[in-house]
Amino acid sequence: MTADHGFLFQQSKLESADRTALAEKPVNTIKSKKRYVIGNELPETTEAWAGSTKNTAGTISDTGFWVPKGANRFHFVGGARFVHGGVMPQEIVVPVVTVKQLRGAKAEKRTKRKVGVISAKSSLKMVNNIQRFDLMQTEAVSDQVLAVTVSVAIYEGDSKVSSEEGVTFDCATDSVAERVKQVRLSLSGSNFDRNKDYFLIIKDKDLNTEIDRYKVTIDLAFTDEFL
């Protein structure tokens, strides 16, 4: 990628000292512009920088050129505050940025993402109306791995059958024990069937998107009539 630098804007109007006036066009001039003069065997001058295209551009012919000094211009006309200079850095240095698309493991390594959250156990079972579940952060939070706040609840299909709890995983250590957090869920109602499919679903609380789900067997030994 590259870009044109455009103009330099000067708050005050350019004075005569900012202009390079040529008394007359040099002999053997091929082209004469505000920002340069090109010609053959151009005479020496103190009003401009002089050079040869043979040295600067590798041409076969030894064509000479003049360029204004600093931000000056030849034959200054109009645009008093918008200035192109002669051989100022902004005129002769072209900024170039090389963009390379990363793929696979390299792209994943450089892409910021939220930390993963899983159940510490793959097989889950509820035998009481209120139960704690262990959830584990899969890796340490870092510059590329961001903290995440999740919501956790038990579902039957699309319907929630328990309380919903939120917890933030932001541990930056490699200790597995420190990356485990508990959520306490209480069932809503009492008509649960041990043969039905219930799921503990972990969602990204900010995005409301599902991160993971685990099948839960609900096998209550007895029900509390006051719940």
> Tens digit of pLDDT for each residue in 155-202?
999 999 999 999 999 999 999 999 999 999 999 987 899 999 999 999
Nearest to 133 by CA among 195, 211, 186, 169: 186
Contact 137, 171 (CB under 8 A): yes
Residue 86 to residues 35, 58, 82, 136, Cα–Cα distance (Å): 6, 20, 14, 64
90-115 pLDDT, tens digit per residue, is 666 777 888 888 777 766 667 788 99
pLDDT for 86 equals: 59
Mean pLDDT of 82-94: 63
Q: Taking the mean position of all CA atoms in its chain, how far away is CA 30?
A: 48
37-55 pLDDT, tens digit per residue, is 889 888 888 778 888 988 8
pLDDT for 227 equals: 44
CB atoms within 10 A of CB 109: 9
For the structural domain made of 110-218, what CATH number should be given?
Answer: 2.60.40.2030
Weakest mean pLDDT among 78-87, 127-136, 152-161 = 78-87
* Interatomic CA distance for residues 41 and 185, integer angstroms: 91
Q: Where in the chain is the domain with CATH 2.60.40.2030?
A: 110-218
